[in-house]
Amino acid sequence: MNLLQNPLNPILWTARRSEHDVISLYNYLSGLMRIITKDYCLNFGYWNKGINSPREAQRRLCSLIADVSDLYSARTVLDIGSGFSVPAIYWKSLFDSLNIVCVDVNLRQLKFGVSLQDDLKEKKITFPLSKDNTKESKSSLELKLPHSEDAEKLSFVNATSTALPFADNSVDRIIALESAQHFRPLSEFFMESNRVLEKNGIFVTAMPVIHNQECLVGNNIFSEVISIMSSFLKLGVLSFTWMSEHYDLDHIKSQIGNAGFRSKEIELIGSQVYEPLSKYYIQNREKIQNAILKEYPSHIEKILYKSISKMNELSEKRVIDYAIIRADK
């Protein structure tokens, strides 16, 4: 059924959050991110010094993940929850000899990644670099993709994160850039990642987290209700509009350890993620709103605005954060 014929669909998808619901929600709402960022890179971005736009922030986050993952020394990378594959294409532009496999349960987005890669190669489209304070950078800096005609392309695999179709000890890097918060159960994803990674392999995930959130164990209705009420009291509107599970940082660290990993590095960068993005949206709301209303009903933008405002508030209070976690096998 077309969404416009049933406007309750986004509410149902958000409430249930099954794998199919997450796919449907992303297919519908990913256009919002494209309108805001003018790109297909589905992440909040890293707004450190010199960043003035969402697109620059997203590229900077991809660069940060490349550094944390030591991609310069990697051979084979699984990008789990690759979305439209823009981060993978960007990493490939930096490390052309790298073998990158984009893994996503969303076949529609994987197909888009295939076509985008072909378009980038044929039309020699470039990625803009972030600007710094030099005179040279005041012009439009660009990073050309160093692909040659016979360069190895990305690989694309349609699979779920909790049943990875790869052999034991077969890759040396696994990255989940702003995707693991959707994986259920998260513990199985960590176990699968440990199985697939070779000895001394590196696992890196970047995801929204909550501080001091009570994690209830159990599958009964009572536990579910208490968990929902607790989440609502802490997050307000974000408990419904965040398209993900709401994981406590300590819970994530515990699950990673239980999967057999050695935690090596944790960076909390929420103040350089949520707050500048929120301020950018609020300052440019009128222009963004006009663009959104060309593709979405007005209530979607109103909910988005309330969510972004709440996100800024909770980030300032350090209720929510954004974690980049590296663990070694």
Helices of type H across 238-318: 238-241, 249-258, 274-283, 285-292, 298-316
Q: Smallest Cα–Cα separation from 288: which of 316, 270, 61, 278?
A: 278
Q: How confident is the model at residue 23 (pLDDT cuts 50, 70, 90)?
A: low
pLDDT confidence bin for 33, thresholds 50/70/90: confident
Residue 203, strand partner residues: 174, 327
Rounded to an integer, what distance in angstroms lies between the CA atom of residue 88 and that of residue 233?
A: 37
**pLDDT at position 2:** 38
Which of 24-33, 46-55, 134-143, 183-192 has the weakest average pLDDT? 134-143
Q: Residue 297: its pLDDT value, please?
A: 86
Question: Cα–Cα distance between 12 and 69 in angstroms, integer?
Answer: 36
Domain that holds residue 39: 3-328
Is the pLDDT at 221 greater than 50? The verdict is no
* Secondary element (H or E) of residue 231: helix 221-235
Rounded to whole angstroms, the Cα distance separating 174 from 65 reads 11
- What is the rounded CA–CA span in Å between residue 263 and residue 266? 8
Q: 3-state class of 198 per DSSP?
A: strand
At residue 323, what are phi and psi to the nearest 5 degrees?
-110, 135
Contact 230, 298 (CB under 8 A): no
User: What percentage of the chain exceeds 90 in pLDDT?
Assistant: 47
Predicted confidence at residue 14, as pLDDT, reads: 57
Specify whether the CB–CB gap between 151 and 65 falls below 8 A.
no
Q: How confident is the model at residue 121, as a pLDDT? A: 62
Q: Which residues of 67-83 are buried (b: 16+ CB within 10 A; e: fewer)?
A: ebbebeebebbbbbbbb
Pairing status of strand 320-328 against strand 197-210: antiparallel
Percent of the chain with pLDDT over 70: 71
The pairing of strands 142-143 and 127-128 is antiparallel
Residue 44, Cβ neighbours under 10 Å: how many? Answer: 24
Is pLDDT at 216 greater than 60 in this prediction? no
Number of domains in the chain: 1
Q: What is the average pLDDT score of the chain?
A: 79
Q: Residues 261-287: pLDDT tens digits? A: 988 889 999 999 999 999 999 999 999
The CA distance from 186 to 58, in Å, is: 24
Helix (H) or strand (E) holding 26: helix 19-37
Max alpha carbon distance in the chain (Å)?
61
pLDDT bracket for residue 41 (50, 70, 90): confident
In CATH, what number is assigned to the domain containing residue 201?
A: 3.40.50.150
CA-angle at 111, arms to 110 and 114, nearest 5°: 90
Q: Name residues whose C-beta falls within 8 Å of residue 189's C-beta, 6 or more positions apart in sequence.
A: 80, 161, 162, 176, 180, 183
Identify residue 181 by its one-letter amino acid code: Q
**124-168 pLDDT, tens digit each:** 444 443 333 323 222 222 333 333 333 458 999 999 999 999 999
State pLDDT tens for residues 165-186. 999 999 999 999 999 988 888 9
CA distance 17 to 184: 9
